[in-house]
Amino acid sequence: MQIYLSLQFIYLCFMFNVNSSFYQFLTALQNKLNTEFDLRALSETACLLSANGTSISIVYYLCSSDKRIHIDTDSRYIHVDEDLWITRPDLLLNRIAALAGKAQRIYARDTVAARIDKQRAMAFQQAHHLQVALPGKYRYGLFHKGDLVAIAVFSGGRKMNNRPADYRSFELLRFCHKQGVQAVGGFSKLIDAFQQEFHPGDIMTYADKDWSDGDSYRKIGFTIVGETEPQRFWINTQTKQRYDEHTLPQAIKDASLSVRQSLGYAPLYNSGSIKLIKVL
């Protein structure tokens, strides 16, 4: 098996013209999950990693990739970008490990849900979430023996047309676990704590299709109501820093698409999101 992987890696190096980051990711992933992955080149900039005995497969994209590749398979797979591996390797590996069932499991019945302040919620997201931290308006934490192990961040309530005057719709902006920990039933417990205090008419949220098929949301009563188009980001190919359109340096923001690329900013599109609503 080791010889097979070595030959595959040589082939992928030729196809991808990759640097050492892909090999470092592959090695770290195999050590983290204690398994060996088979590799299959999907394009010159994308590779499928799969292994027997794991619940997920991974499509790994170099920074020069711009579009997602659809895989015809019944098994679950996630999309991983090179810039995330380079800039947040531990967080990326821990999230993959959690999806593969390798996280420490605790149970919601052994936890306490409580409101937390903005500072604590932002610090937790920055340490444990791959996306940008959001302050929200209402924040709840899940505590296990005094340790904060998960949080949920909600927007303020919005009035809805054709609904009673006291009807409010809230958005779940962020949910995340502490790295290396999975609180079984914790998501539902945080939703229930928010519901008991604010009595929302509904809660709306978006699931990142790079990582989720929405199943964990459907299990606690959310319904899929639509999808959003893939979102475009920009990667500084020198620093591997990721930007959306609003956070680009002003000089790059003012430049045309072709000039941006000539200055080393490559476009990257995610898979879009699933929109879900839980009517309460």
Asked, for residue 35, whether it belongs to a domain, the answer is yes
Q: Same structural domain for residues 190 and 168? A: yes
Cβ–Cβ under 8 Å, residues 103 and 176? no
Q: What whole-number distance in Å separates Cα of residue 5 and Cα of residue 213?
A: 30
Q: Same structural domain for residues 126 and 87? A: no
Q: Same structural domain for residues 22 and 60? A: yes
Q: Same structural domain for residues 84 and 8? A: yes
pLDDT classification of 160: cutoffs 50, 70, 90: very high
Question: Does residue 4 have a pLDDT over 50?
Answer: no
Beta-strand relationship, 56-61 and 76-81:
parallel
What global pTM score does this model have? 0.90
Q: How many residues are present in the chain? A: 280
pLDDT classification of 2: cutoffs 50, 70, 90: very low
Mean pLDDT of 119-143: 97
- Point out the domain boundary residue: 45, 64, 99: 99
Which string of DSSP letters, residue by residue, matches 43-96?
SSSEEEEE-TT-SEEEEEE-TT--S------SSEEEEEEHHHHHH-HHHHHHHH
Domain span holding position 242: 232-269
72 versus 118: which is more confidently predicted?
118
What pLDDT, on the 0 to 100 scale, is given for residue 55?
Answer: 83
Domain count for the chain, please give it. Answer: 3
- Point out the domain boundary residue: 181, 200, 219: 200
Mean pLDDT of 48-57: 89
